[in-house]
Chains A and B, each alone.
Chain A
């Protein structure tokens, strides 16, 4: 199941949901808040989502993963709100009979979640500026000193 939450993500608790007697492999991915992006010192990250569609599209992604790969269970949780360095922003967990499909499904889910779900992040920099990641106008208007850095 896909979940969007403002609560702290605890992977150790989440992986319990994936227990299955047929599972010989468990693969997971955790996305953490890093203190640097494109040469800028990042203090914290602020995530925003449009939750109804983030959940709906996330469910579609998980269903696709279950259809593409012979896995037993797949779950994803994405955090929103203000996150500090080192915190977990997203968790994906997959249980499968074998490791190949567990790794592949896990990779598929995180890659799709990043490009399809209506979730945005704003970087708050050490110099007091901030900028939405992937926003061209933010770059063009120099919300951060080196505007080119986020013009991706």
Chain B
């Protein structure tokens, strides 16, 4: 069943997608599913292993379940300091 999700992009992801946020309807169970589906849609080459995800402003992991109405934050590889 497809879920309606708000997805936010940051830094390089925002530049690749050309938007900072979108509402999408996806058949996805986990954060990993969301990443992979949107990665194809936005033709991103960034491998998942260096990226991070948050769901509704909580740090999550790629196996975290996504629910209808969730806001998914996709973080490209971080580089603080």
Q: Which residues of A contact B (CB under 8 A)?
A: 31, 47-50, 52-54, 56-57, 78, 89-90, 110, 113-122, 132-138, 140
Contact = CB atoms under 8 A, between A and B. Distances in A.
B47 A121 contact: no
A2 B40 CA distance: 36
Interface residues of B, number: 22
Nearest to A136: B46
B44 A121 contact: no
Classify the interface of chain B: helix, strand, loop or mixed. loop
Contacts of B57: 52-53, 56
A50 B50 CA distance: 17
Contacts of A113: 80-81
Given A118-B52, A140-B45, A134 B10 contact: no
Contact of B76 (A56, A57, A115, A132): A132
Contact of A78 (B16, B52, B77, B80): B80
Contact of B73 (A50, A110, A140): A50
